Amino acid sequence: MRILVVEDEPRLGRALQRGLTAEGYRVDLATDGIAGLEAIRHEAYDTIVLDIMLPRLSGYRVVRTMREEGIWSPVLILSAKDGEYDEADGLDCGADDYLTKPFSFVVLLARLRALHRRGAPERPTVLTVGTLRLDPASRRVVRDDTEITLTAREYALLEYLMRRQDQVVTKIELLDRVWDAGADTDPNVVEVYVGYLRRKIDQPFARHSLQTVRGAGYRLVDDTRGGDLRMAAVDGSASDADAVSDAFADSAIASDAVSDGGAPPTDTVGAAAGRKSQARAADGDVPAAATPRDT
């Protein structure tokens, strides 16, 4: 395994180099951010041990630039900055682990082994599906150049679907990951929120990225690629979720009407959903009443 240590404190840098070499690793040492970034660009490292407070270029900038350039080598930040916001900033910039100084060399070795086991899959800091972008650090969602405002639940649903791009995700999986798995939540609340999401991320932009796969679940695709619009029609992406969410449109309930801890008026929702259910009964597709109980 080849490791790059980027550390500006000479004694610590040399000690890390000697200790890791004694453990069987091949170790290169850089003493400032620019030198570290150049080494990363020219060599394929299995892991990078990176300080934050570096001369010429900070560790934050180094790891952010790596990810922007598509370099996915695992990064372990090793820093004297021990505040919780410092750690959060490091991880949000694209680092994979964070260890504060002073540290245990035994723990450092264990964390390096864990990073090696995970490998180096692509881990973008900003999620992108077609023209839709989600930045987990700032919690901003943008389609083209337009920022989209989402409720907390809508945001959590979109982030999970974007992380599972092109994969079919079931209602049960979404309830387990986005809602409280232990709560008694009606599965049809997922249809309602998918409808809310479509009205924010797709309909205003004439897009069809959030698809329904009949009898299976949902998937988020890049519909700017050839064939995805036809696939959406075959899968019935405008059926299940839209049939329920459209029931709320006539009652002038806005997309945010159901926020965490709240629910739209049940008499209006129940009547609207009931009318839709009767209409769909003729087609042999009758869902349960869709009254969101969001906890």
- Residue 106: left (phi > 0), alpha (psi -120 to 50), or beta? alpha
> Is residue 47 within 8 Å of residue 115, measured between CB atoms?
yes
Superfamily holding 2-118: Response regulator (3.40.50.2300)
Q: Which CATH number fits domain 127-281: 3.40.50.10490, 1.10.1040.10, 3.30.360.10, 1.10.10.10?
A: 1.10.10.10
Locate the domains of the chain by residue range. Answer: 2-118, 127-281
Q: Which own/partner pairs from 182-186 qualify as long-range (CB within 8 Å, at least 24 positions apart)?
A: 183/293, 183/295, 184/293, 185/293, 185/294, 185/295, 186/288, 186/289, 186/290, 186/291, 186/292, 186/293
Residue 245's contacts (CB-CB under 8 Å, 6 or more residues apart) are 191, 192, 194, 195, 196, 198, 199
Q: Are strands 2-6 and 26-30 parallel, antiparallel or unpaired?
A: parallel
Per-residue pLDDT 10s for the chain (295 aa) are 889 999 999 999 999 999 999 998 989 999 999 999 999 999 889 899 999 999 999 999 999 999 888 888 899 999 999 888 989 988 888 899 999 999 999 999 999 998 888 765 666 667 888 899 888 777 889 998 899 999 988 998 998 898 888 889 898 888 887 886 555 677 788 999 999 999 999 999 999 999 999 888 999 998 887 544 434 443 444 444 444 444 433 333 333 334 444 444 333 334 334 433 433 333 333 333 333 334 3
